[in-house]
Homo-oligomer: A and B are copies of this chain.
Amino acid sequence: MHQHNCVSLVPLFSQLSEQEQDTVNSIVHQHHYQTGETIFAAGDSMDALMIIASGQAKVFQLASNGKEQLLHLLTAGDFDGETALFSQAKHNSFAEALMPTMICQINRTEFQQLMQKYPTISLNLLNELGRRMTELEKRTTQTSTSSVESRLADYLVETSAQFGKNDFKLPLKKKDLATYLGTTPETISRKLGELERNGLIEQTGSKQICIVDQEALEML
């Protein structure tokens, strides 16, 4: 069987030599998930670090009223489960594949040995956790201080920057985008319409967005 090499893809291990990466690769367990399939659920015990080799997954929580809150969008090279590496805790969130997705897992104990052997790994972990923390802090601040319109505008500008062009396809269903921005699909739909009517964007196709007036968007 052709074993896809997760390890070389991941920034987490990028500073290791090729030989060291092989070592890591040998203790990795692979899993494949289909679109819509659950990767883990709240309540599951966490005992491994998960790395996205290919595909895309969403991490979200469910409130007691059943509402969904999207916390992170994971793409190739991203990982999750780091809080599990020390405390033998349960997942407090869900993860679901948004497309056919390959996941590499490393058991807690094995990963702990890795970190002892190669200290740069834990530094990389710290780095990435910090980055994600900063991102979440920003989003938290925005959700409780700004209007949906400006959050959406900000999201569009940032996403377009990631793609490096004004014309791009939303990487999320609007349903998920809504919970990501802390609002509802209906409101997203309306606000996008409003932005279009005001000449700031154009909706060329399903999920296809073109930014017309970036400055005005940033102004919100």
Contacts and interface: CB of A to CB of B under 8 A. Distances in A.
Interface residues of A, number: 42
A144 B83 contact: no
Contacts of A69: 140-141, 144-145
A136 interface: yes
Contact of A143 (B122, B123, B182): B182
A126 B129 contact: yes
Interface in A114-134: 115-116, 119, 122-123, 125-127, 129-134
B134 A136 contact: no
A74 to B, nearest CB: 14
Given A86-B123, A87-B127, 16 more contacts: A63-B142, A69-B145, A71-B140, A82-B130, A83-B133, A85-B126, A115-B123, A122-B122, A129-B129, A129-B130, A132-B133, A133-B133, A136-B140, A140-B143, A143-B143, A143-B182
Interface of A: 61, 63-65, 67, 69, 71, 82-83, 85-87, 92-93, 115-116, 119, 122-123, 125-127, 129-134, 136-146, 179, 182-183
7 contacts: A63-B142, A83-B133, A116-B119, A125-B126, A144-B179, A144-B182, A144-B183
